[in-house]
Amino acid sequence: MAQSNLWYLENIDAEGIFCPQKIGQPMDNHKVYNYKKGDHVFTPRQKADTIYFISQGRVKIVSDSPEEKTITKAILGAGEIFGELAMVGEDVRRDYAIAMENAEICQISRASMTELFRERHPIYIFIMNLIGSRAIRMEKRLEALVFKDSRSRIVEFLVDLNEQKGQRAGYEWIVRNFITHQEIANLTATSRQTVTTVLNELKNKNIITFNRKRLLIRDLDLLKDEILAA
């Protein structure tokens, strides 16, 4: 991996948190649900009393602005957790969580998580690190929106995506389950056309190649240089 994967800090098995068999104790409030593409996992003003773990599929976290624009905050896949703000005082949801494809999602109540915190301190550290890391990431995105142009935001997004989910393959890096151009546009506050243009420019420079299933970064240093050159 490019660095310690955000979702597995402190060597915690995230799946183990949500699997009663791995925890080794019954959990009455542990449930597994299947969602179809487009289904809402939660909506704004819904009570925030549950933490979610994606065992299969992908989920996007979005919010609506007063100008009726939809803002994509995150796209999450198998092995990742969301809804964690329920553990730090969020009483009702402020965002939408929407299944981007058929998904299997495990849910555990806030009460059960609180009990696990008492019994297993590393799980508490894991969740707090998760919340802090996501807050830092959102702050970086806000700064990019204010201070950087569209091309810089897109290139920086690719670099950050690789740091989160990239796998080394010799001198190259692979990001599997690459997202669509429209999804990148939603995450970087740009247009799909701009994303396509930037990706094709990088491809023509032989810095990256990509398709619907993966992003291949041929030279990570050159990609980082593109941020400075933008």
Q: Give the pLDDT confidence of 201-219 residue by residue, as tens digits.
A: 999 999 999 998 899 999 9
The torsion of the CA quartet 19, 3, 103, 35, rounded to 10 degrees, works out to 80
* pLDDT digits 0-9 by tens, 120-166: 777 788 888 888 888 888 888 888 887 889 999 999 999 999 998 89
- β-pair type (208-210, 167-169): unpaired
Sort residue 83 into left (φ over 0), alpha (ψ -120 to 50) or beta.
left
Confidence of residue 17 (pLDDT cuts 50, 70, 90): low
Q: Is the dihedral of CA 170, 175, 180, 181 positive or negative?
A: negative
List b or e across 17-47, with b for residues whose CB sees 16 or more CB atoms inside 10 angstroms: bbbeeebeeeeeebeeeebeeeeebbeeebe
d(CA 15, CA 149) in angstroms, rounded, equals 38
The residue-averaged pLDDT of 176-192 equals: 92
Task: Output 165 or 30, whichever has higher pLDDT.
Answer: 165
60 close to 100: Cβ distance less than 8 angstroms: yes
* pLDDT digits 0-9 by tens, 49-78: 999 989 899 999 998 766 567 788 889 988
The residue-averaged pLDDT of 73-98 equals: 90
Residue 215 β-bridge partners: 175, 210
pTM of the model: 0.76
158 close to 217: Cβ distance less than 8 angstroms: yes
Q: Residue 8 has what pLDDT?
A: 34
Q: Is the dihedral of CA 87, 92, 95, 98 positive or negative?
A: positive
Q: Which domains does the chain have, with CATH numbers?
A: 7-138 (2.60.120.10), 148-229 (2.60.120.10)
- Taking CA atoms, 23 is separated from 12, 91, 119, in Å, by 12, 27, 11
56 close to 103: Cβ distance less than 8 angstroms: yes
